[in-house]
């Protein structure tokens, strides 16, 4: 059943990404977007199959949405995060096909953007591989015996999944968008991440034993040695 739910989840997610890209573009004649969606689908399928075999609890955690346990202030932060991702994707076709306010990326820079996107996806999957408690909402999972995760990618940064989102949005806008769409997307994402990380760390510091010591050991929130 978990395999079937995961497959339908991946299909739905890929279709939703397509809507966020193609609907603002108002055209299906966009081969770069089709290539992006194809790569996204393949990476997600392969990574999910790996996690389903070796770390099924991580997949279950991402599918669990407990609105009752979610702090009220986190609901706004979650909306901000989702909005930033939607806006980050949609700004690319809006500027490319309609506004044309700035230049599109070309050549090797454009290809580097696709590489950034792939790195972002790998960071998200590495986060799920290391942390089986990485739910979509901020809450302490006492029933599952939640503990501080300080191994794998979590030994380098405290919020590697959000680091992945930065690479994801950057890569998508370099591959599909313009200089303006990239800048605006990162601004929206920065505002959302600031809110979400603040609320998440407040909850974890107050309610999760050992998290304060972890913060002292791993100082970087998103990028090692920077911030």
If pLDDT is split at 50, 70 and 90, which confidence band does 118 have?
very high
Whole-angstrom CA distances from 46 to 52, 116, 118, 177 are: 10, 18, 13, 27
Distance CA 182, CA 109 (A): 13
pTM value > 0.85:
yes
Mean pLDDT, rounded, for 81-107: 93
Domains in the chain, start-ordered, CATH in brackets? Answer: 2-217 (1.20.120.1630)
Give the pLDDT confidence of 66-86 residue by residue, as tens digits. 656 666 777 787 888 888 889
Q: DSSP state, 145?
A: T
Distance CA 218, CA 212 (A): 10
Share of the chain above pLDDT 90, in %: 69
Give the pLDDT confidence of 1-25 residue by residue, as tens digits. 888 999 999 999 999 999 999 999 9
Torsion of CA 108, 109, 111, 112, to 10 degrees: 120
- Residue 81: per-residue pLDDT: 84
């Amino acid at each position: 059943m978990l395999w079937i739910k995961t497959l339908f989840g991946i299909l739905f997610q890929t279709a939703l990404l397509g809507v966020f890209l193609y609907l603002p573009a108002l055209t299906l004649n966009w081969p770069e977007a089709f290539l992006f969606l194809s790569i996204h689908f393949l990476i997600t399928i392969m990574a999910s199959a790996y996690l389903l075999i070796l770390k099924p609890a991580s997949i279950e955690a991402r599918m669990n949405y407990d609105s009752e346990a979610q702090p009220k202030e986190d609901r706004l932060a979650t909306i901000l995060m989702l909005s930033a991702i939607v806006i980050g994707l949609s700004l690319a076709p809006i500027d490319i096909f309609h506004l044309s306010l700035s230049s599109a990326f070309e050549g090797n820079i454009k290809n580097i953007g696709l590489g950034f996107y792939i790195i972002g996806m790998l960071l998200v999957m590495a986060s799920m591989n290391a942390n089986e408690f990485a739910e979509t909402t901020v809450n302490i999972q006492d029933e599952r015996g939640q503990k501080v995760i300080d191994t794998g990618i979590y030994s380098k940064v405290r919020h590697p999944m959000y680091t992945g989102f930065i690479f994801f949005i950057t890569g998508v806008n370099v591959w599909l968008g313009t200089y303006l769409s990239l800048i605006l997307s990162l601004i929206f994402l920065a505002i959302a991440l600031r809110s979400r990380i603040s609320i998440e760390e407040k909850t974890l510091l107050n309610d999760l034993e050992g998290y304060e010591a972890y913060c002292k050991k791993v100082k970087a929130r998103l990028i090692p040695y920077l911030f």
